Chain A
Amino acid sequence: MSLFDRLAARRLIVVTGKGGVGKSAMTAALGHGLAARGRRTLVLEVDPRENLHQLLDVPPSGGDAVEVAPNLLLQNLKPRQVVDWVVRKQVKIEMLVKRVQQSPIYHRFVEGAPGLKEMAILGHALRLVRGETPGVDAVDTVILDAPATGHGIYLLTASGLFSEAIGEGPFADMAREVAEFTADADATGVVLVTLAEEMPVQEAIELRQALEEKLDRQPELLVVNGVYPALPAAKVADAANDATDGAPEELLDLWRHRRAVNERELARLERRWSGPRVELPLLPVDRGPALVADLGGLLDEALAALDAEEGGR
């Protein structure tokens, strides 16, 4: 089975990484990739400031699951929706539901209770793949555009903590189910996105360690995004270059240095990272559907190359 197919077989893929590394574009590209393979896929965004719709070329979803392409859905989720849903299911009497939901105490509980939102997000994903969400037919895979790394590991561990702490009640049941779901590497996959720069690489390595320590598992894939292209052999040296190619020396100088930073960090990953890893180039394309399409194509190629490499061994 190819790497992409193995990834596609997951019920939930959590895409995580430091801020500004291109998580959302990668989430969108993976969404298209899975949908093209016939998986009914929903990309889930939890950022209150919606932006995935721009990458998928549709209007803001406004909180509902909307179809953006064949087999591909998009939803911008407010964790509150899920908590409210649990309340509604439990309390049943509409007037009481309203009272509860309007109470400031409830607001503070939902805003402040540690782990509750994280559990609600993953609980929602679980309901989606089980077909338990009213108005949405079951989906094969949910791809979650997760909050930045530090929060990423907490997202994955919070439900376990929550279920240990609570013990009883519907939230506890949900937390237990979610914890099992995310601990099962066959059901839930983690895709880590980074740039080949010091801080994001450091965070990627730390997240990997945290995943191993706390959940005894590893990320399915590391995507090194936005890599400057290698210089042609003749331009690598610092010596004066053939002036006939017309490129200003300052441009080549900046290129050389930025590429050197990338190579230093790629070398660090080579030493400290085992497991599937792909590199995607920095592209001269504005952030939008065209970038997503290009990244998707390159991701396909890179994963196929990894498969070939593995097969050749």
Chain B
Amino acid sequence: MSDGRLDLRSDQPPLVIVVGSGGVGKTTLAAAMGLESAAAGRDTLVMTFDPSLRLKDALGVSAASEDEEIAVPTAELGSGAGRLDASLLQAGRTFDRLVERYAPDAAARDRILGNRFYTHLASHLGGILEYMAVERLYEVASEQRYDRIILDTPPTTQAIDFLEAPERIVSFLDSGALQIALRPWFGDSGRLRATSGLGFVGKGLERFLDRIVGLQLLRDMSEFFRAFGPLFDGFRERADKVRELLAARDTVFVLVTGPGETRIPDTLFFARRLREAGYRLGPIVVNRVHPDFGVVEPVVDGAAGDGVELFRWLGASHRGGLAELRRLLPDDQMLVALPVEKDEPTDLRSLHALGARIQAQLEGAR
């Protein structure tokens, strides 16, 4: 039981989920924590979504290795190190793979893949990447090949999207509602049927669907959902299991955010949502904090003066933001501040150094 405690050198927690808004450095931190975890002897998998080109190179993942776990060369971590694998999930053909994986037979698969609604729209279904992420996470976690899995999350504007997306997609695909809505319209032959078992509400709805959506789309959708039928039960069942896994006592969420006061409302909002939803929030990591250089003497040179002034301002502003965030968070909420790096760490050595610094702060705060 870790109850939100994160210790990369111990065997707890076995599952770490790195969340946060887009552009705050989640992927880099996930990789850094992965290296520290492996260095401590834990067999570790880092699942990433959106690494920079240089980080991809360092981890040895590429589009070609999509969906596979690739061994990261970790010779420099020393003899006691555990295995470190990395994987990369990308948008693109995710939905096709899902269909291929779960269709009961080739005919069912082809019916879905050839459907007009599917080819035009379903592959763009909002949340599909997020769904695939947790789906894959569940699969890998069930196999128990690793001591620890660190899941980076897809880039979303709002951090909360990640947790809600799988539920959204399952509810859209769920056989119940839409099939009921569509079934009265079309017989098995795909022809429009006049009768309806839905009564008054159903009639209103039918009229709505007809006027608004048009019959062709309805026909395509009806066909799509019929073809998708055999996959539905599995979807719902797995979604429930994934939720259980995410809400398990030894699954820890790491919330990454940027410095500065303007980020604070978002950070507090997401921290509260996580707790309310029953997830264990571990440390909040404030990334890329500019160091505080204190008062700097006036500089003679004009351009140098502006630059020095800028760095002073950034340092003071970030220090103020951190203090304010600390004040607003519960006392027992762990807060880790990471200084801005001279360059985004992308080689294994500097990533490991970053991971070790995170671990040191986690230990120091205890």
A residues contacting B by CB (< 8 A) are 18-21, 47-49, 86-87, 90-91, 96, 99-100, 103-106, 108-109, 111-115, 117, 147-148, 150-151, 154, 158, 161-162, 164-172, 197-200, 202, 228-232, 234-235, 244-248, 250-251, 253-255, 257-258, 260-261, 282-284, 286-287
Q: Is B185 an interface residue (CB 8 A)?
A: no
Given contact pairs A19-B155, A108-B177, A154-B124, enumerate 15 new A-B contacts (beta carbons under 8 Å).
A91-B204, A112-B171, A114-B124, A115-B121, A165-B121, A166-B216, A168-B215, A228-B307, A235-B304, A245-B300, A248-B293, A250-B293, A282-B314, A283-B310, A284-B310
Contacts of B314 in A (CB 8 A): 282, 284
Q: Which 6 A-B pairs have the closest CB atoms?
A: A19-B22, A112-B172, A169-B214, A246-B297, A20-B23, A284-B313
Q: Specify which of A108, A165, A172 is in contact with B171 (CB 8 Å cutoff).
A: A108
Q: How far is the CB of A125 from chain B (nearest CB, A)?
A: 19
The chain A residue sitting closest to B23, CB to CB, is A20
User: Are B22 and A20 in contact, CB atoms less than 8 angstroms apart?
Assistant: yes
User: Are B122 and A114 in contact, CB atoms less than 8 angstroms apart?
Assistant: yes
CA distance A49 to B21 in the complex (A): 13
Q: Specify which of A99, A154, A253, A287 is in contact with B342 (CB 8 Å cutoff).
A: A253
Contacts of B205 in A (CB 8 A): 99-100, 103, 105-106
User: Are A168 and B216 in contact, CB atoms less than 8 angstroms apart?
Assistant: yes
User: Are B168 and A114 in contact, CB atoms less than 8 angstroms apart?
Assistant: no
User: Are B216 and A167 in contact, CB atoms less than 8 angstroms apart?
Assistant: yes
Contacts of A48 in B (CB 8 A): 158
The chain A residue sitting closest to B290, CB to CB, is A254
User: Are B22 and A18 in contact, CB atoms less than 8 angstroms apart?
Assistant: yes
With A168-B216, A169-B213, A257-B343 given, is the CB distance from A19 to B157 under 8 Å? yes
CA distance A166 to B53 in the complex (A): 38
User: Are B122 and A148 in contact, CB atoms less than 8 angstroms apart?
Assistant: no
With A87-B212, A103-B205, A106-B205 given, is the CB distance from A198 to B23 under 8 Å? no
The chain B residue sitting closest to A20, CB to CB, is B23
The chain B residue sitting closest to A46, CB to CB, is B157
Contact with A along B306-327 (1 / 0, CB 8 A): 1111111110010000000000
CA distance A100 to B296 in the complex (A): 65
Q: Is B220 an interface residue (CB 8 A)?
A: yes
Contacts of B208 in A (CB 8 A): 87, 90-91, 96, 100, 106
Q: How far is the CB of A90 from chain B (nearest CB, A)?
A: 4
CA distance A116 to B24 in the complex (A): 29
B residues contacting A by CB (< 8 A) are 21-24, 50, 52-54, 91, 116-117, 120-122, 124-126, 155-158, 168-169, 171-174, 177-178, 180-181, 200-201, 204-205, 207-208, 210-217, 220, 258, 260-262, 266, 269, 290-291, 293, 296-301, 303-304, 306-314, 317, 340, 342-344
Interface of B is mostly: helix
User: Are B317 and A286 in contact, CB atoms less than 8 angstroms apart?
Assistant: yes
Q: How far is the CB of B102 from chain A (nearest CB, A)?
A: 19
Contacts of A86 in B (CB 8 A): 212
Contacts of A284 in B (CB 8 A): 309-310, 312-314, 317
CA distance A245 to B313 in the complex (A): 18
Q: How far is the CB of A198 from chain B (nearest CB, A)?
A: 5
CA distance A284 to B121 in the complex (A): 45
The chain B residue sitting closest to A112, CB to CB, is B172
CA distance A250 to B50 in the complex (A): 31
With A148-B155, A251-B311, A255-B307 given, is the CB distance from A164 to B342 under 8 Å? no
Contacts of A21 in B (CB 8 A): 23
CA distance A261 to B340 in the complex (A): 13
Interface centre among B54, B169, B215, B301, by most chain A C-beta atoms within 10 angstroms, is: B301
With A114-B121, A251-B311, A260-B343 given, is the CB distance from A200 to B207 under 8 Å? no
Q: How far is the CB of B366 from chain A (nearest CB, A)?
A: 29
The chain A residue sitting closest to B119, CB to CB, is A165
With A100-B208, A108-B178, A158-B124 given, is the CB distance from A172 to B304 under 8 Å? no
Q: How far is the CB of B202 from chain A (nearest CB, A)?
A: 9
CA distance A209 to B300 in the complex (A): 46
With A106-B205, A257-B342 given, is the CB distance from A165 to B116 under 8 Å? yes
Q: How far is the CB of A257 from chain B (nearest CB, A)?
A: 4
Contacts of B91 in A (CB 8 A): 150
Q: Specify which of A104, A165, A172, A257 is in contact with B120 (CB 8 Å cutoff).
A: A165
User: Are A19 and B21 in contact, CB atoms less than 8 angstroms apart?
Assistant: yes
Q: Specify which of B171, B213, B296, B317 is in contact with A247 (CB 8 Å cutoff).
A: B296
Contacts of B207 in A (CB 8 A): 91, 96
Q: How far is the CB of B119 from chain A (nearest CB, A)?
A: 8
Contacts of B22 in A (CB 8 A): 18-20, 148
Contacts of A199 in B (CB 8 A): 23, 50, 52
Q: Specify which of B156, B217, B291 is in contact with A166 (CB 8 Å cutoff).
A: B217
Q: How far is the CB of B339 from chain A (nearest CB, A)?
A: 9
User: Are B177 and A246 in contact, CB atoms less than 8 angstroms apart?
Assistant: no
Q: How far is the CB of B341 from chain A (nearest CB, A)?
A: 8
Q: How far is the CB of B260 from chain A (nearest CB, A)?
A: 7
Contacts of B180 in A (CB 8 A): 105
The chain A residue sitting closest to B208, CB to CB, is A100
**What are 11 contact pairs spanning A and B, CB under 8 A?**
A18-B155, A20-B22, A103-B205, A105-B181, A112-B171, A148-B155, A151-B157, A197-B344, A202-B52, A254-B311, A254-B342
The chain B residue sitting closest to A154, CB to CB, is B124
Q: How far is the CB of B167 from chain A (nearest CB, A)?
A: 10
Contacts of B52 in A (CB 8 A): 198-199, 202
User: Are B155 and A254 in contact, CB atoms less than 8 angstroms apart?
Assistant: no
Contacts of A244 in B (CB 8 A): 300
The chain A residue sitting closest to B262, CB to CB, is A287
